[in-house]
Chain A
Amino acid sequence: MSKIQDFTSILPPAWCPGCGNFGILNALKKALVELKIEPHQTLFVSDIGQAGKLPHYTRGNVFNSLHGRAIPSAIGAKIGNRMLHVIVSIGDGGAYGEGLNHLVHAMRRNHDITCLVHDNQVYGLTKGQASPTTDIGGVTKTTPYGAPPPINPLLLALAVDAGFVARGFSDDTTHLKDLIKAGVQYHGFSLIDILQPCVSFNHKNTHEWYGQRVYHLDGSVYQPSDKNAAFIKAQEWGDKIPIGILYRHERPIYEENLPVLDADEDLTTIVRSGKIDELITEFV
């Protein structure tokens, strides 16, 4: 059984003091321990930017990919070894800008990976430019006259019938831990959009700003199986912001449509097949 210490890295995080990433890291570690997952059973695939550094501050297998490309790298690795718990750590720039195409198709095909989007509504590592989720009118270094309307990732996910659509808040680590646990356990693609203050470059969407607005979707009243209700909740933004699982339903994962993966074969071991000779005969 794993302990928090097993997921503790010797490397000191290079994040700003007060960064929302600390909450995400703590919630992730706790979730994995509670799920009794060992570090070697996990694969963290990260994008770049501050979110991309997260895997270095815990322990597990790590593939730190290109900007926007963490999701395709994760897909390839998951197919390569289906026993791995594959968790993507990516920012709003990588998931909703540079790599949006990959996110959309990963949700559509339903690859069995968990995608944590560190959504701070700004580009942090490049120091304060507008991101795809910057609130409308947001003044940044690249939008001196105000940002255009943001993308709504949850609506987008619902539109492509993602099976697990959730939103968390980095300051509410217990709630976030439970979301991550549910996402990792979910059989299919789980999108968890995590509201996260950027203390250095986002002076609007602060700890206090989010803290005053977020509320938990109560399971007894709200039914995450109701897709129409989820569409309505996904559009709630402003004075009140819902966090929790907006939508969850089971559907076949990508791999289930591939006969090869039924065989449960270890694809890393190459077994010479006599059937190649038959292929050759087909050309004679």
Chain B
Amino acid sequence: MTNTINFMVGGEAGQGVQTIGYLLTKSLARYGYQVFSDQDYESRVRGGHNFFRVRASQSPVNAINENIDILIAFNLETIALHRHEVVTAGIIIYDSELIQNLQGSNLLNIPAERLVLEATGGKQTANTVLLAAALAICGYEFASFANLLEEFFGKESAEKNIKAADSAYKYVEARSIKKSQYRLKPIGNTNRMILNGNEAMALGAIAAGCKFMAAYPMTPVTPIMEYMAAKSKEFNMVVVPAEDEIAAINMVVGAGYAGIRAMTATSGGGFCLMVEGLGLAGMTETPIVVIEGQRPGPTIGLPTRQEQSDLQFVLHASHGEFPRMVLAPSTVEECFWSVEKAFNLADKYQLPVIVMTDHHLATSYNTVERFDLTRTNIDRGSINTSNMGEYQRHLFTENGISPRAFPGKSTALVVTDSDEHDENGHLTEDPAIRTRMTNKRLGKMALAQEDIQSPKLYGPEQPDMILVGWGSTFGAIREAVDILNNRGKKIAHLHFHEIWPFPKDTVKEILADCPEVFVVESNATGQLAQLIRQETCIQVNSNILRYDGRPMIPSDVIMALHEEVK
């Protein structure tokens, strides 16, 4: 697409790849571009090879492209690894005093260290020079960039960065360096948010009135607890850095029992430790929200990389049978709304709600229209208001939902048990009560089904093929479908944003008549395809799978269909 421009910032861990990538992303968003940026980094604090891809477009963009128009290289390795991805008219910006003896076309030497030394007396802000040079050759106004630097670093710290940027702009100007064919200019809405999936989820929790969060740091979702901790004072939230994930989820269940909205966030490995606590929420009918941020497993796997391989695990985690709900937001914007909704579902049906994310979604930045807070809604579900007789926490009701009371808030005694229990919450081994309680709990799933959004079908009527996906592969599939349909194909895209209870009737109806159904997933075993077969008896024709730890991109889908990637 001609209206998109792809940047990459690459270097070692500790060289500021993330900061420069973020600043670039934000500069583009400030001009009104729609931006999608992803991060590729190794599990280390210093060294190695990291990169940050930034894709800007005049229309919404939800996926990354492997072509590079402008490569900002902090080290030789970045150039060696990514030079082949730079397009013919592309530009590689580097400092030839650091990276010497480079040959070939597309090279733009900016002596960043020398410039910054002259301008500021130190070398710390050399990378800002390279970024500023990239913006300068695209015609990005210096004043706008300087404003952003001041906002980001604060007035005092920004000074050196602004001087560094100024030296780059002057260098580019003085040498009449050939401008990039990509011209950046302020367009349209410059008032969009730029945030990543983690930030959107944390905001969703705060908007939902979450008051308690307990977690143990684990990539990729650690920033959720960090963000909430940073805002805990302003929003009267308690964020407990628990000793382990087992403690975290059990604290959350305790807080949920006490009547406050409570959440934890972890990755697959941490979720492994939490599953007994998940069952506790199911058995005691306690509302909790769990964010599960997938990364490649099993075990430590690839800690800082991408996979969607926990779907079947999340659906089945913990022993015994109890109801749960599983949401799988597909974009950064949906991360906000899914978490906000998860709290309402948890309260309404008194069960654990798991919101699945993954490394790609959690760490990728996306421009999003300001969240419309008037759309948020707090539904605490059925609350006991009767003062008549003894309160029964697990009262049998027509729809299986027992009104909640909060311990200590009235004279009602709130009794519940991880053992099988009677309506009063006291343990029992009575076979009739056991059967009835099991039916009560599982029966809530039929009701909960009504609140699950069915997957949406996009594309031509009576398609020749449907590509099915869930969660973070949304952008890659959607873009591939658009590209192929522009070439005259008739391909539709069916995407799951909410997964359990499974919307089987809709799925059956949509898939039944389509000649070819391919499921696109970032895992090795086709877990959504298995789920579709289990729930609808429909065997899909094939799977398009990627499980090398890298995110699905549009060209993966296009190539899998034996089409040319242009």
Q: Name A's B-contacting residues (CB within 8 A).
A: 11, 38-41, 43, 45, 48, 53, 55-56, 59-66, 69, 72-81, 83-84, 101-102, 104-105, 258-261, 263, 265, 267-268, 270-273, 275-277, 279-280, 283-284
What's the minimum C-beta distance from B47 to chain A, rounded to whole angstroms? Answer: 31
Cβ–Cβ contact B209 & A80, under 8 A: no
**A277–B235 Cα gap in the complex (Å)?**
12
Which of B257, B260, B415 is within 8 Å of A267, CB to CB?
Answer: B260
Question: Which residue of B is nearest A98, CB measured?
Answer: B246
Q: Which of B425-449 contact A (CB under 8 A)?
A: 425-427
Cβ–Cβ contact A64 & B260, under 8 A: no
Interface assignment of B233: CB less than 8 Å from any CB of chain A? yes
Query: Digit string of B528-542 for contact with A (CB within 8 Å is 1, else 0)?
Result: 000000000000000
**A104–B244 Cα gap in the complex (Å)?**
12
Cβ–Cβ contact A60 & B413, under 8 A: yes
**A268–B254 Cα gap in the complex (Å)?**
13
| A66 with B418, Cβ < 8 A, contacts A81-B259, A102-B247, A265-B236 known | yes
Cβ–Cβ contact A260 & B232, under 8 A: yes
**A45–B238 Cα gap in the complex (Å)?**
20
Which one, B93-101, B276-284, B299-307, is touching chain A? B276-284
Cβ–Cβ contact B416 & A260, under 8 A: no
Cβ–Cβ contact A66 & B280, under 8 A: yes
**A125–B427 Cα gap in the complex (Å)?**
15
Q: Given A62-B417, A279-B203, 18 more contacts at CB 8 Å?
A: A11-B426, A40-B407, A45-B254, A61-B415, A63-B407, A64-B419, A64-B427, A65-B280, A66-B250, A69-B250, A72-B250, A76-B251, A76-B256, A79-B251, A79-B260, A80-B259, A267-B212, A267-B260
What's the minimum C-beta distance from B62 to chain A, rounded to whole angstroms? Answer: 17
**A69–B214 Cα gap in the complex (Å)?**
14
Given the complex, which residues of A lie within 8 Å of B165, measured CB to CB? none
**A273–B233 Cα gap in the complex (Å)?**
13
Cβ–Cβ contact A40 & B233, under 8 A: no
**A41–B413 Cα gap in the complex (Å)?**
9
Interface assignment of B243: CB less than 8 Å from any CB of chain A? yes
Cβ–Cβ contact A64 & B418, under 8 A: yes
Cβ–Cβ contact B427 & A53, under 8 A: yes
Cβ–Cβ contact B408 & A84, under 8 A: yes
| A275 with B235, Cβ < 8 A, contacts A43-B407, A66-B280, A105-B247 known | yes
**A38–B411 Cα gap in the complex (Å)?**
9
Which one, B48-56, B191-199, B495-503, is touching chain A? B191-199
Interface assignment of B253: CB less than 8 Å from any CB of chain A? yes
Question: Which residue of B is nearest A258, CB measured?
Answer: B238
Cβ–Cβ contact B250 & A61, under 8 A: no
Q: Which 7 A-B pairs have the closest CB atoms?
A: A80-B258, A76-B254, A270-B209, A61-B407, A76-B255, A76-B251, A72-B250
Query: Digit string of B356-379 for contact with A (CB within 8 Å is 1, else 0)?
Result: 000000000000001101000010
Cβ–Cβ contact A63 & B257, under 8 A: yes
Interface assignment of B240: CB less than 8 Å from any CB of chain A? yes
**A53–B428 Cα gap in the complex (Å)?**
11
Given the complex, which residues of B lie within 8 Å of A43, measured CB to CB? 258, 407-408
What's the minimum C-beta distance from A252 to chain B, rounded to whole angstroms? Answer: 16
What's the minimum C-beta distance from A258 to chain B, rounded to whole angstroms? Answer: 6
Given the complex, which residues of A lie within 8 Å of B206, measured CB to CB? 276, 279
Which of B214, B234, B257 is within 8 Å of A275, CB to CB?
Answer: B234
Cβ–Cβ contact B238 & A261, under 8 A: yes
What's the minimum C-beta distance from B531 to chain A, rounded to whole angstroms? Answer: 28
Given the complex, which residues of B lie within 8 Å of A60, measured CB to CB? 413
**A75–B408 Cα gap in the complex (Å)?**
15
Given the complex, which residues of B lie within 8 Å of A272, measured CB to CB? 209, 378
Given the complex, which residues of A lie within 8 Å of B280, measured CB to CB? 65-66, 69, 73
Query: Digit string of B213-255 for contact with A (CB within 8 Å is 1, else 0)?
Result: 0100000000000000001111111101011101110111111
Which of B206, B238, B250 is the most central at the interface, judged by chain A CB atoms within 10 Å of its CB? Answer: B250
What's the minimum C-beta distance from B161 to chain A, rounded to whole angstroms? Answer: 20
Q: 30 A-B pairs, CB-CB below 8 angstroms? A: A38-B411, A40-B408, A40-B413, A41-B408, A64-B416, A66-B277, A69-B246, A69-B250, A69-B276, A73-B251, A76-B250, A76-B252, A76-B253, A76-B256, A76-B258, A77-B254, A77-B407, A78-B254, A79-B258, A79-B260, A80-B259, A81-B259, A81-B409, A84-B407, A102-B250, A258-B238, A267-B211, A267-B236, A267-B238, A284-B191
Question: Which residue of A is nearest B336, CB measured?
Answer: A280
Given the complex, which residues of A lie within 8 Å of B348, measured CB to CB? none
Cβ–Cβ contact A284 & B255, under 8 A: no
What's the minimum C-beta distance from B235 to chain A, rounded to whole angstroms? Answer: 6
Interface assignment of B168: CB less than 8 Å from any CB of chain A? no
Interface assignment of B544: CB less than 8 Å from any CB of chain A? no
Interface assignment of B547: CB less than 8 Å from any CB of chain A? no
Which of A76, A265, A270 is within 8 Å of B214, CB to CB?
Answer: A76
Cβ–Cβ contact B413 & A270, under 8 A: no
| A40 with B242, Cβ < 8 A, contacts A75-B251, A102-B247, A284-B193 known | no
**A258–B248 Cα gap in the complex (Å)?**
17
Which of A11, A72, A270, A273 is the most central at the interface, judged by chain B CB atoms within 10 Å of its CB? Answer: A72
**A277–B193 Cα gap in the complex (Å)?**
12
Interface assignment of B410: CB less than 8 Å from any CB of chain A? yes
Given the complex, which residues of B lie within 8 Å of A41, measured CB to CB? 408
Cβ–Cβ contact B247 & A72, under 8 A: yes
**A45–B252 Cα gap in the complex (Å)?**
14
Given the complex, which residues of B lie within 8 Å of A80, measured CB to CB? 211-212, 254-260, 262
**A43–B257 Cα gap in the complex (Å)?**
11
| A81 with B233, Cβ < 8 A, contacts A48-B418, A76-B214, A270-B261 known | no
What's the minimum C-beta distance from B145 to chain A, rounded to whole angstroms? Answer: 17
Given the complex, which residues of A lie within 8 Å of B257, measured CB to CB? 63, 73, 76-77, 80
Cβ–Cβ contact A77 & B258, under 8 A: yes
Question: Which residue of B is nearest A41, CB measured?
Answer: B408
Query: Digit string of B160-201 for contact with A (CB within 8 Å is 1, else 0)?
Result: 000000000000000000000000000000011111000100
**A267–B371 Cα gap in the complex (Å)?**
25
Cβ–Cβ contact B260 & A276, under 8 A: no
Interface assignment of B458: CB less than 8 Å from any CB of chain A? no
Given the complex, which residues of A lie within 8 Å of B414, measured CB to CB? 61-62
Given the complex, which residues of B lie within 8 Å of A65, measured CB to CB? 250, 253-254, 280, 418
Which of A48, A62, A271 is within 8 Å of B416, CB to CB?
Answer: A62
**A153–B240 Cα gap in the complex (Å)?**
25
Given the complex, which residues of A lie within 8 Å of B237, measured CB to CB? 260
Question: Which residue of B is nearest A56, CB measured?
Answer: B426
Cβ–Cβ contact A268 & B260, under 8 A: yes
What's the minimum C-beta distance from A53 to chain B, rounded to whole angstroms? Answer: 7
Which of A40, A63, A84 is the most central at the interface, judged by chain B CB atoms within 10 Å of its CB? Answer: A63
Interface assignment of B558: CB less than 8 Å from any CB of chain A? no
Cβ–Cβ contact B413 & A276, under 8 A: no
Cβ–Cβ contact A268 & B258, under 8 A: yes
Interface assignment of B396: CB less than 8 Å from any CB of chain A? no
Given the complex, which residues of A lie within 8 Å of B236, measured CB to CB? 260, 263, 265, 267
